[in-house]
Amino acid sequence: MTKEVKKCVVIHNGSHSTIAGFSNMELPQCIIPSTYLQRDDEMIFGTFEMLDEAEKNIPGTQVYTIIDSHGLPYNWTALEAQWRYIYEKQLKVSPKDLPLVISVPASHAEFDMQIMERYFELAFVQLGVPVLQIVVEPLAVALSMGKSSALVVDIGARGCTVTPIVDGTVIKTGVMRSKFGGNFLDFHIAQLPHIEPSETASTCEMWYNSNTWIQQFKSTMLQISDKNLVELERYYQEQLQLQQQQQQQMNGFQPYMMNPLTQKRNFLYKGQKTITMELRDCYKIAEYLFQPNLASETFSQTEGLSELMSKSIRKAGATVSTMGTQSGGTGASLVYHRTHIAANGNTKNTTQSPGPGSEKTTVAAASAGGLTSEQVYSLLLTNVIITGCTSLIGGTEQRIINELSIRFPQYKLTTYANQIQFDRKVQPWISMSAMASLPNWELGRWYVPHDWRPTT
Ligand code: ATP
């Protein structure tokens, strides 16, 4: 089959951004918000169109979402309108002309089949798409990097999701999700004492702030400390005390003493005034991803990213070692999707030296008939993939390495995170595109209208 024939439309609907383009292109055609603006009866899509309109903040204009807190569409009318906008205004092709590839998040929910049916109806009936492929987002990310086993840590807008994949299979019981992601940080940044409080902000104004200065604030001011912030504070306090004692002993000698957490950072807020914050306050906001209990006592530390990763690995180990990874039989309900696809990766960077050979041998063992939980831990920990735009906050990767090495000290650890900012932003789309471009159509599951029977 020629490259020409395999051109597909690829659409990734994240809860924050929707990325769309053609599978035979290296980069997507558009990145637009996964929300829309409603003014009277008109729906407005597209980044610049929405920003222009939101800036005016005309009373009555509202912003609505399309994707729910699980990362699945709930507003199907808006999704259809958004896809039509993408086809007409961005891709400039008819939906009837090309196969379509879309993504769904890994989930352990039972309503998956209903969502699939809604997707089939939208694609086949409403838009007339000829062929549809639905890929599981973290699975596509892992496989497109040439990894059939990985721990995919996605730090996005609606929260963090940790997905263990063993031998091309998502271990459903190990999929862990928290609600603490980019949106949660946005909320806390908007509450900072330096910001004028706006109790009556419309959805339009909130969306505009989130996509303009708050986003800049997150990328320039926030930083993730390499260890637990409470411990870091204690560590620097101890250092200061030590230095003070030394000063007393060395009479007359004045060492320069400063707590690094008191360093100042400046941010130009809305081009009008400078906000100055200490480094400890910048660390504190980002720390909510790992310790949400610092934001409010009503949140538990067990919902932080460190606990999520740890639970995910242990649950995956327990599931695989007791059930095996074979789909079918009793293990079938615990796994999401099984495939033997191993596409060649388009990873741009790795942070530590990859463990040679270990993956190959253990995967072979899995296929041969089951892994011990230690083998699963080792497989996952040598393939930790960090994705999602909130992971672009400086220090995220190092913190994840530190947290995992505290919890699994006896295992080798390797993380993979795309170091190029734009590539990390479009990573799900690039992965889906790679899956769609596999040399053999048989490798992925493609659906045609004939496969879909509406439930009566
Ligand atoms: P989800 O994974 O929740 O379904 P998504 O895939 O659409 O949503 P991402 O695009 O991965 O989400 O992440 C969007 C979040 O990342 C937003 O909250 C956005 O403000 C934030 N973000 C984008 N760029 C940066 C950056 N450079 N630094 C910090 N945060 C960023």
CATH number at residue 372: 3.30.420.40
**What is the C-alpha to C-alpha distance for residues 351 and 29, in angstroms, rounded to an integer?**
29
Question: Do residue 336 and residue 347 come from a single domain?
Answer: yes
Query: Residue 171's closest CA among 162, 159, 180?
Result: 162
Q: Is 426 in the pocket of ligand 1 (CB under 6 A)?
A: no
Domain shared by 168 and 189, yes or no: no
Q: Does residue 338 fall inside a structural domain? A: yes
Please work out whether the CB of residue 389 comes within 6 Å of at least one atom of ligand 1.
Answer: yes
Cβ-Cβ contacts under 8 Å for 425 (sequence gap 6 or more)? 17, 31, 389, 392
Specify the residue with its C-alpha closest to ligand 1, atom 10: 389
Whichever domain contains 220, its CATH number is: 3.90.640.10
From the CB of 393, is ligand 1 less than 6 Å away? Answer: yes
pLDDT tens by residue, 423-437: 999 999 999 998 888
Q: Is the pLDDT of residue 3 over 70?
A: no
Q: How far is CA 219 from CA 69, 130, 192, 328, 341, in A?
A: 23, 41, 16, 45, 35
Segments in 331-381 forming alpha helices (H)? 358-369, 373-381
The predicted structure's pLDDT at residue 43: 95
Give distance in angstroms: CA of 181 to centre of ligand 1: 8
* Window from 21-25, 274-278, 402-406, 449-453 with minimum mean pLDDT: 449-453
Residue 165: band (very low, low, confident or very high) from pLDDT cuts 50, 70, 90? very high
- Quote the strand ranges of 181-287, DSSP E: 264-269, 273-278
Kindly indicate whether the ipTM for this predicted assembly is greater than 0.85, answering yes or no.
yes
Collapsing DSSP states into helix, strand and coil, what is residue 340?
A: coil
Q: What is the total count of domains within the chain?
A: 3
Domain of residue 202: give its range.
182-234+264-288
21 pLDDT tier (thresholds 50, 70, 90): very high
> In the predicted model, what is the mean pLDDT of residues 235-242?
86
Which of residues 30 and 249 earns the better pLDDT score?
Answer: 30
**Shared domain check, 198 and 340:** no
Give the distance (Å) from ligand 1 centre to CA of residue 182: 6
To test ligand 1's pocket by mutation, which of 175, 187, 390, 393 has the most ligand atoms within 8 angstroms of CB?
Answer: 390
- Per DSSP, the three-state class of 268 is strand
Flag whether pLDDT at 283 surpasses 90. yes
- Claim to verify: residue 315 and residue 369 sit in the same structural domain: yes
- Distance between CA 22 and CA 7 in Å, rounded? 7
pLDDT in tens, 63-99: 999 999 888 999 999 999 999 999 999 999 999 999 9
Does 123 share its domain with 198? Answer: no
**Alpha carbon of 19 to ligand 1 centroid (Å):** 12
The torsion region of residue 71 among left (phi > 0), alpha (psi -120 to 50) and beta comes to left
Q: Are residues 15 and 114 in the same domain?
A: yes
Question: Same structural domain for residues 230 and 276?
Answer: yes
Residues 372 and 226 in one domain: no
Nearest CA to ligand 1 atom 27: 219
Confidence of residue 451 (pLDDT cuts 50, 70, 90): confident
390 in ligand 1 pocket by Cβ < 6 Å? yes
Distance of CA 376 to the CA centre of its chain: 23
Q: Are residues 90 and 229 in the same domain?
A: no
